[in-house]
Amino acid sequence: MRLSRYFLPVLKENPAEAQIVSHRLMLRAGMIKQQAAGIYSWLPLGYKVLKRIEQIVHEEQVRAGHIPLLMPTLQPADLWRESGRYDDYGQEMLRIKDRHERDMLYGPTNEEMITDIFRSYVSSYKQLPLTLYHIQWKFRDEVRPRFGVMRGREFLMKDGYNFDLTKEDALHAYNRHMVSYLRTYERMGLTAIPMRAASGPIGGDNTHEFLVLAQTGESEVFYDAKVPDLKLGDRAVDYDNRDEVAAICEEFTTLYARTDETHDEAVFNKIPEERRMVGRGIEVGQIFYFGTKYSESMGATVVTPDGNRVPVEMGSHGIGVSRLLGALIEANHDDKGIIWPEGVTPFHVGIVNLKQGDTATDAACEAIYKALQGRGLDPLYDDREDRAGAKFATMDLIGLPWRITVGPRGLANNVVELTCRRTGESEEMSATAAVERIVKIYEAH
Ligand code: P5A
């Protein structure tokens, strides 16, 4: 993309309404625009990151054997009357009437609708196990929408639902989700810690939240200092192997890690004092096992191998896709702006032309731009006539992990400059070497 033709409405001033750094930087970098409290338009740069996050979520769900579909945002109230949640959900639910005076709602979650889909088509244990998921907008009329996309009213969620014959099978699905979530967050360059939590309006008694440690997080968290060092890394996981998947979950949940909802001071105090950590975290996902809570009330049953009819065992599992942008920026920024991890960056590399209009510099930039595109990469070329300082400031603000700077002085020595956004370190090399270096960096992502 050429910056001269792109739509990147960056702001020079800090917007007064933003209280935390991720919200401020998303507004300043022209990623989002607020349209009403907790409701945002996704401008091109923000939309690009959102899509990259979605893509990673999809890939890891499919890898775990889960099947994508798409349910609507609007739902009939009658489904929720069946489960009993229409009255329970309270003011967070946005209720709407259509022209026929029928009660509708903008879905805050989809347990009822997916259970309705299941009962319409599945009736035998032979069709199990089954896990269906979608990535769809949700609406929750939060009392206090704040911190930009972190606590929105309209927000994007990946929500998945497992259907199993036995409790044991459903717990395997729960574990599979835990491991697939760990992989998802790690691919984005985030450490998200599974913590035992409370289930709230979704129900059930087995639930974990995934928290990214950050001062600005809304939850208070208590954990063993060793927990953030746990990494899945690039180990190959066989998602059908119950013992292997269960062992990974055990590895990640044995050390103490809880939110304030389930914190137990007595247990916490058994950890050596120097390892007792108290901090704050951003909840970027939550998984639930709730058994037959919805299948029983909504009549979603299957015939067992010995001919009985039983309600299907279920759980639901969510990732805060749009919230992840905020969490990623909270965890990756400095005083100049955002620092995207390579796995989610909107453009792979920025090209800065220091002397737009100079024939040789323009030609060198064009050649680099085309070479990168030819290798399947997505560069952002700043081809505007502007001061070098202003171009650098924009690149730093929007946070591309790598920058290639091209100017007449370097070109006289056949070199360009390759700069790492995170370390600030620069290296001179030929244009070809710079392209090869970038290609190599992204081969790992
Ligand atoms: C699990 C999937 C559920 O709704 N039903 C379907 C279950 N879980 S949850 O914990 O309530 O939400 C899942 C994740 O969505 C994100 N989230 C939000 N993101 C932005 N703004 C909000 N107002 C908001 N509310 C929830 C969180 O990341 C949460 O973990």
pLDDT in tens, 213-224: 999 999 999 999
Between CA 77 and CA 233 the distance in angstroms is: 44
- Which ligand 1 atom sits nearest the alpha carbon of residue 324? 28
Alpha helices in 89-190 (DSSP H): 111-121, 167-187
Q: What is the pLDDT of residue 193?
A: 97
CB 183 within 8 A of CB 57: no
Closest residue by Cα to atom 20, ligand 1, is: 151
Residue 318 CB less than 6 A away from ligand 1: yes
Indicate the top mutation candidate among 323, 325, 328, 330 to test ligand 1's pocket, ranked by most ligand atoms within 8 A of CB.
323
CB 109 within 8 A of CB 202: yes
Q: pTM of the predicted model, to two decimals? A: 0.96
Taking 80 as the threshold, does the pLDDT of residue 203 lie above it? no
Q: How distant, in Å, are the alpha carbons of 2, 49, 89, 305 from that of 9?
A: 14, 16, 39, 61
Taking 80 as the threshold, does the pLDDT of residue 205 lie above it? no
Nearest alpha-carbon partner for 194 in 204, 213, 209: 209
Nearest alpha-carbon partner for 260 in 318, 305, 220, 310: 220
Q: What is the pLDDT of residue 233?
A: 93
Phi, psi of 125 (to 5 degrees): -60, -25
Q: Please, which pLDDT band fits residue 339 given cuts at 50, 70 and 90?
A: very high
> Positive or negative, the Cα torsion across 88, 90, 94, 99?
positive
Secondary structure class of 248 (helix, strand, coil) = helix
Phi, psi of 363 (to 5 degrees): -65, -40
Q: With left for phi above 0 and alpha for psi between -120 and 50, is residue 189 left, alpha or beta?
A: left
Q: What is the pLDDT of residue 445?
A: 81
Q: What is the pLDDT of residue 142?
A: 94
Q: What is the pLDDT of residue 202?
A: 77
Class of residue 385 by CB neighbours under 10 A (exposed 0-12, middle 13-18, buried 19+): exposed
CATH number of 3-337: 3.30.930.10
Residues of the chain with CATH 3.40.50.800: 347-443
- Which ligand 1 atom sits nearest the alpha carbon of residue 157? 15
Q: In the structure encoding, which two tokens stand for residue 284, read together?
A: 């970027």
Residue 407 CB less than 6 A away from ligand 1: no
Taking every pair of Cα atoms in the chain, the longest distance, rounded to a whole number of angstroms, is: 82
pLDDT, mean of residues 327-344: 97
Q: What is the pLDDT of residue 198?
A: 83
Q: How distant, in Å, are the alpha carbons of 44, 174, 206, 294 from that of 84?
A: 40, 24, 21, 9
Residue 157 CB less than 6 A away from ligand 1: yes
Q: What is the pLDDT of residue 204?
A: 76
Q: Please, which pLDDT band fits residue 48 given cuts at 50, 70 and 90?
A: very high
- Which ligand 1 atom sits nearest the alpha carbon of residue 160? 2
Nearest alpha-carbon partner for 237 in 227, 226, 252: 252
- Which ligand 1 atom sits nearest the alpha carbon of residue 282? 28
Residue 316 CB less than 6 A away from ligand 1: yes
Cis preceding-peptide flag for 346 (omega within 30 of 0) = no
Nearest alpha-carbon partner for 137 in 158, 113, 120: 158
Q: Please, which pLDDT band fits residue 444 given cuts at 50, 70 and 90?
A: confident
Taking 90 as the threshold, does the pLDDT of residue 200 lie above it? no
Residue 399 CB less than 6 A away from ligand 1: no
Secondary structure class of 48 (helix, strand, coil) = helix
At 106-164, the pLDDT tens digits run 999 999 999 999 999 999 999 999 999 999 999 999 999 999 999 999 999 999 999 99
Indicate the top mutation candidate among 206, 207, 286 to test ligand 1's pocket, ranked by most ligand atoms within 8 A of CB.
286
- Which ligand 1 atom sits nearest the alpha carbon of residue 108? 4
Angle between the N-to-C axes of helices 167-187 and 44-63, in degrees from 0 to 180, rounded to the nearest 10: 140
Class of residue 19 by CB neighbours under 10 A (exposed 0-12, middle 13-18, buried 19+): exposed
At 264-302, the pLDDT tens digits run 999 999 999 999 999 999 999 999 999 999 999 999 999
At 219-250, the pLDDT tens digits run 999 999 999 999 999 999 999 999 999 999 99
Between CA 355 and CA 411 the distance in angstroms is: 11
Residue 208 CB less than 6 A away from ligand 1: no
Phi, psi of 161 (to 5 degrees): -135, 125
Task: Please give the angle made by the CA atoms of 108, 113 and 116, to the nearest 5 degrees.
Answer: 160
The CA-based dihedral angle spanning residues 354, 357, 359, 363, taken in that order and rounded to the nearest 10 degrees: 60
Residue 283 CB less than 6 A away from ligand 1: yes
Q: What is the pLDDT of residue 290?
A: 95
Report how far ligand 1's centroid is from the alpha carbon of 319 (Å). 7
Range scoring the smallest mean pLDDT among 85-89, 323-327, 392-396: 85-89
Phi, psi of 279 (to 5 degrees): -155, -155
Residues of the chain with CATH 3.30.930.10: 3-337
Average pLDDT, the chain: 97
Indicate the top mutation candidate among 157, 159, 284, 290 to test ligand 1's pocket, ranked by most ligand atoms within 8 A of CB.
157
Report how far ligand 1's centroid is from the alpha carbon of 108 (Å). 9
Report how far ligand 1's centroid is from the alpha carbon of 403 (Å). 35
Closest residue by Cα to atom 10, ligand 1, is: 286
Fold adopted by 347-443: Rossmann fold (3.40.50)
Which element (helix H / strand E) includes 220? strand 219-224
Report how far ligand 1's centroid is from the alpha carbon of 323 (Å). 9
Between CA 141 and CA 108 the distance in angstroms is: 9
Taking 90 as the threshold, does the pLDDT of residue 427 lie above it? yes
At 349-376, the pLDDT tens digits run 999 999 999 999 999 999 999 999 999 9
Taking 90 as the threshold, does the pLDDT of residue 313 lie above it? yes
Residue 320 CB less than 6 A away from ligand 1: yes
- Which ligand 1 atom sits nearest the alpha carbon of residue 209? 30
